[in-house]
Structure 1
Amino acid sequence: MHIPPIPGSPAGRRRQTAALAAAVICSTVFTGPDLAVAGGPSPSVPAPKLDWKPCIQGSPFDCATAKVPLDHLNPGGRTIELAVIKRKATGPGRRIGTLFFNPGGPGGPGTVQMPQNYEFFPREVRERFDIVSWDPRGIGSSTAMNCFANREEADAWAASKPAGFPVGERERTAYAAAYKDLARRCEQRDPELLRHVSTADTARDLEQLRQAVGDEQLSYFGISYGTFLGATYANLFPDKVRAMVFDSNVDPQVWTHASGDDSRLPTFLRMGADRGAAAVLDKFLAHCGSITTARCAFSAGSPKATREKFDQLMQRLRKQPAGAWTYGRTVGDVVNSLYQVQGWTGLAGRLQTLWQGRVPEPAVFPPGPPVPNPNPYLGDEQAGAVFCSDSPNPRDPAAYHAAEEASAPRAGDAGRFWAWAAEGCAAWPAAAMANRYRGPWNKPTAHPILLVGTTYDPATPYSGAQAMARELANARLLTNSGYGHTALVNPSSCVNEHESRYLIDGTLPPAGTTCQQDTPPFSATKPRGGVGTGGGGMADRVS
């Protein structure tokens, strides 16, 4: 299973990607025991102590380690560690409090991705808040799921399956076998941790961290999967909500439930990520075909001709890869590169190189600021442990090929990609689903929540933001008219202004407000930073 990362994140540089498809599948769906976590506080647990110190010499970021219970409902048992990072408010004397940030995924390492994306936060927010993030339990530099004895063993496992997604019966067999093997390894390695990495567990960690920094209520900014984490927190601890921004929203009902015809679909097809990615890809090709090759190297002179050129390239790669650039890998690169509009120029260049029969160089991204561990282990099992804990998916590996074939007519290559994104859940241990939260999602919060949805999003469609607005008891939807995954890394001065007003003094944008992106496709601006997101899967992240 694969949760695609945004290009530029460490996961995006190392991991392979997969995509979602939508289909009606004749298979059994495992929904797990119906043990929805009850809302309300956990048994009383002292807040962890955060001993802040500079992360490394010369870094503007401070680091600490928080100890929290493995099982918040049994706080006297085993404890685990959370790696935490902070950038102090830059406006002396004007500090409001702490803004907690989750970079999506599931599985985004906040200790890496918050520093990478710090400059994307509105200036006024950076002045008034300490910005804090953390590697969620099971992830990165926190107590992590690691189902291999060493990095070499993990690399050998990754090499045993096709890149991106499988093509053909032999690759499909190898793909399913690899994830079945991963599930077996994880169940043997640390079964106790495996049972306690759900989003509900992480929401309770977030409540512990809020107490640790001394804020009476929570200020929070979550993107992609981070919106689902935020919704879970808001419904477990509704009286603790001061201000929460959810950017690129996951429909919480779709994420946690599968019913009717949808009960036979993988999560990402239920979300409609396949259609969303196909729509953005179509816009990418249309924009490219409308300009010259000086601005878009892959242009064939018109939108129609450029779409045809892309289809021909994909057909060719299915028959004959260009070195390691198989059809599956290339489609994964395409979908992930659609996440950030400023990366579209580079994507067009790689496609043109492939069209010419040459092997493209992978995308290169500037290094982030110095942090203690800029390249933590982020194996497929980390995102999968969270995602498979929360979201029901078919247990029959054959269901994912059926999903691919059903999604392809409506979503093309992007549909094939998304159809396989959750396949790792087919063999995931059932015990991992014991601690999830499945709603309700409409508990009245102490203050309203601000939602941001982008109209053309290749991972979390705009419909997810509309659904989140309907589900929450008190939320306002701000529409970002543009392309890409999250308004955070596809900046809009208008969105930033509304987020700043809301986070600083609670002022919501008027109902129905729509903003525009600052940077149009194929501008000269180069991409900066990167964020792990969000839609879910094991090899990479949605958000």
Structure 2
Amino acid sequence: MHISAPKGRRRVCAAAVAAVVTCATALAAPGLATAGGPPTPSASALKLDWSPCVKGSPFDCATAKVPLDYRAPGGRSIELAVVKRKATGPGRRIGTLFFNPGGPGGPGTVQMPQNYEFFPREVRERFDIVSWDPRGIGSSTAVNCFTSTAQAEEWTAAKTTGVPVGEKERAAWITAYQDLGRRCQQRDPELLRHVSTTDTARDLEQLRQAVGDPQLTYLGISYGTYLGATYANLFPDTVRAMVLDSNWDPRAWTNDASEAAARLTTMLRLGSDRGAAGVLDEFLKLCGAATTARCPFSAGSPQETREKFDALLRRLRTEPVGEWGYGPTVGDAVSGLYSVLPGWTDLAGRLQDLWQGRAPQPSPLPPAPAVPHPSPYLGEEQAVAVVCGDSPNPRDPGAYRAMEEASAARAGDAGRYWTWATVACATWPGVAQDTYRGPWNKRTAHPVLVVGTTNDPATPYSGSQAMARELADARLLTHEGYGHTALVNPSTCVQAHESRYLVDGTLPPAGTKCRQDKPPFSADEPQGAVSAGEGGTADILTIRP
């Protein structure tokens, strides 16, 4: 599935923080609130036996055993791989911050250690930071539909990447995903029914209890926002602080709780196609306004750069450069918009290589973290199992061609990409047995901070607006910037508000807007000014809790 950025470039990070001030709402004293709310269906008390992930590592690892089916806790159990970095200022420790890196399919045991240094210093001092591979993913009990790496690679090679072009490629995609569904059903059909977001939210509640926190402190990005919203409505009394960055509209994900067959795919209901189209337009406009030293693909003006891009895609339909035809290039263009620095400059370089008839070189992989499983199996079926089990999608493979043309009419090439992102669901055999489909307005013990980026190619700003409306008590913080998530595309202003909220519960004033530190193709000087909404212009300070 193509919901996440390509594995070779996917990176989830939070940056260092300075801070902002003015208060609106505050939580009770951190760590002192009492737990409550409807309990997770009965399960044995979870114990985490922590030990260094590898000798000399600052990260601790543990394996949690949880019920496969919380309605039958005495039945089969599965394992969750968990990782922790202890608070660096233990005398000032508040508790545990749980982190989900999105996806679905993001392996927290890899992505949290990989990006630990980007978490705000204040947060690293005051919280143990814990993440985990959700059920079905990575080093946890995982959905794996192949008997060998070679078999998985053979399946992947049977279809092109990005977008299928022409009847032959479209048929190959449909056949490949039909085959994937059959393989998964044969390997572990029971697991496919129990990898839902609701199941994972119940796992999170078990992990919260296991670390001894009376209430949950949580940071989730992208898909992690939907997981957070699900938890908040299942266990509203146990929410201490929750940051949801780059949000999915929960009603769109569930098809507004309708049991009827979906007429649009999940990603089209979420508006990812229109969001990506708008950000691609911004990429080409800003590139065209920049010099070739800053944007290698620039043709000297926004209009000429747009025309150059369209001409490149037309040419690649009939004259691919090696394996880089129209489909892979569109997929790379959309996912390359996720991270502004250095992602947009790298994307511009790859497009210029293709324009000049050269096959682009792959971006270097980030260094492997010091955990036992730095490269767990992350097959496409893991994300597929969550999305297709959780969210309604059209069950007729033949319907995707018409949807592609309709989406292309409103969103161009990006519409084709996001239409085919969930075609696996047309023939997927597993349906989640435990799904929460709303309502989304259970009043939580403390308010939720919702962060939305105005130019996001995967989760449009409208999704964050919808999340803030749906939750009973939420404050929307607007990130006026580009890319997918404020963590990967940092704003000192956003990070400061997040840090203060997590540490002492202070929310930004209603209507607060922050700007990105470094806009695309710009000089290195920070640009992070602050608008404090109803509270006027905020001063930039350093927080000392």
Aligned to 2:482: 483
Contact 1:6 1:339 in 2 (8 A): no
* Partner secondary structure for residue 453 of structure 1: strand
2:212 to 214, 233, 255: 214
Aligned to 1:189: 187
Contact 1:10 1:375 in 2 (8 A): no
Which residue type is aligned with residue 116 of structure 1? Q
Change (3 A) 1:11 1:88: closer
Aligned to 2:173: 175
Aligned to 1:287: 286
Tell me how far 1:361 sits from its aligned partner: 0.4
1:224 to 198, 222, 225: 222
Deviation track 1:389-424 (CA, whole Å, cap 9, x = no partner) reads 110000111221111111112211111111101100
Which residue type is aligned with residue 393 of structure 1? N
Change (3 A) 1:468 1:279: same
Aligned to 2:416: 416
CA distance, structure 1, for counterparts of residue 7 and residue 151 of structure 2: 25
Tell me how far 1:468 sits from its aligned partner: 0.4
CA distance, structure 1, for counterparts of residue 154 and residue 89 of structure 2: 48
* Partner secondary structure for residue 247 of structure 2: coil
Aligned to 1:23: none
Contact 2:104 2:383 in 1 (8 A): yes
Aligned to 1:29: none
Which residue type is aligned with residue 351 of structure 2? L
Contact 1:407 1:415 in 2 (8 A): yes
Aligned to 1:448: 447
Aligned to 2:536: none
If asked which structure has higher relative contact order (CA below 8 Å, sep 6+), I would say 1
Which residue type is aligned with residue 394 of structure 1? P
Deviation track 1:422-441 (CA, whole Å, cap 9, x = no partner) reads 10000011x42322111111
Deviation track 1:493-536 (CA, whole Å, cap 9, x = no partner) reads 101110111111111100000001111112467xxxxxxxxxxx
CA distance, structure 2, for counterparts of residue 41 and residue 399 of structure 1: 42
* Partner secondary structure for residue 465 of structure 1: helix
Say which is worse superposed, 120-129 or 508-517, in terms of deviation.
Answer: 120-129
Contact 2:11 2:488 in 1 (8 A): no
Which residue type is aligned with residue 88 of structure 1? K
Aligned to 1:515: 514
CA distance, structure 1, for counterparts of residue 274 and residue 345 of structure 2: 22
Contact 2:246 2:486 in 1 (8 A): yes
Contact 2:449 2:474 in 1 (8 A): yes
2:67 to 66, 69, 72: 69
Which residue type is aligned with residue 72 of structure 1? Y
Identity of aligned residues (%): 73
Contact 1:164 1:417 in 2 (8 A): yes
Contact 2:192 2:432 in 1 (8 A): no
* Partner secondary structure for residue 248 of structure 2: coil
2:130 to 124, 132, 152: 132
Contact 1:40 1:236 in 2 (8 A): yes
Q: 5+ residue gaps in structure 1?
A: 13-38, 526-543
* Partner secondary structure for residue 314 of structure 2: helix
Aligned to 1:389: 389
Which residue type is aligned with residue 194 of structure 2? H
* Partner secondary structure for residue 3 of structure 2: coil
Aligned to 1:102: 100
Change (3 A) 1:428 1:7: closer
Tell me how far 1:164 sits from its aligned partner: 1.3
How many residue pairs are counted as aligned between the two chains? 498
CA distance, structure 2, for counterparts of residue 339 and residue 3 of structure 1: 11
Matches within 5 A, 1:24-173: 40-173=38-171
Deviation track 1:326-363 (CA, whole Å, cap 9, x = no partner) reads 21111111111100000111111110000001111012
Bigger Cα Rg:
2
Aligned to 1:264: 263
CA distance, structure 2, for counterparts of residue 213 and residue 345 of structure 1: 42
2:488 matched to 1:494?
A: no
CA distance, structure 2, for counterparts of residue 509 and residue 152 of structure 1: 51
Matches within 5 A, 1:347-496: 347-429=347-429, 431-496=430-495
Contact 2:261 2:394 in 1 (8 A): no
Deviation track 1:42-90 (CA, whole Å, cap 9, x = no partner) reads 3322332111111112322111100101111111001100000011111
Tell me how far 1:8 sits from its aligned partner: 5.2
Change (3 A) 1:157 1:524: farther
Change (3 A) 1:46 1:341: same
Deviation track 1:208-238 (CA, whole Å, cap 9, x = no partner) reads 0001100000000000000000000001111
Deviation track 1:145-200 (CA, whole Å, cap 9, x = no partner) reads 00111111111011111111210001100100000110111111101111100000
Which residue type is aligned with residue 358 of structure 2? R
Contact 1:262 1:270 in 2 (8 A): no
2:326 matched to 1:338?
A: no
Tell me how far 1:484 sits from its aligned partner: 0.4
CA distance, structure 2, for counterparts of residue 383 and residue 234 of structure 1: 22
Tell me how far 1:7 sits from its aligned partner: 6.4
TM-score by length of 1: 0.89
Tell me how far 1:113 sits from its aligned partner: 0.8
Aligned to 2:322: 323
CA distance, structure 1, for counterparts of residue 410 and residue 444 of structure 2: 39
Change (3 A) 1:492 1:154: same
Which residue type is aligned with residue 320 of structure 2? P
Deviation track 1:229-262 (CA, whole Å, cap 9, x = no partner) reads 0000001111110000000000000001166999
Tell me how far 1:206 sits from its aligned partner: 0.3
Change (3 A) 1:524 1:54: farther
CA distance, structure 2, for counterparts of residue 414 and residue 252 of structure 1: 22
Which residue type is aligned with residue 504 of structure 1? V
* Partner secondary structure for residue 91 of structure 2: coil
TM-score by length of 2: 0.89
Change (3 A) 1:9 1:368: farther
* Partner secondary structure for residue 47 of structure 2: coil
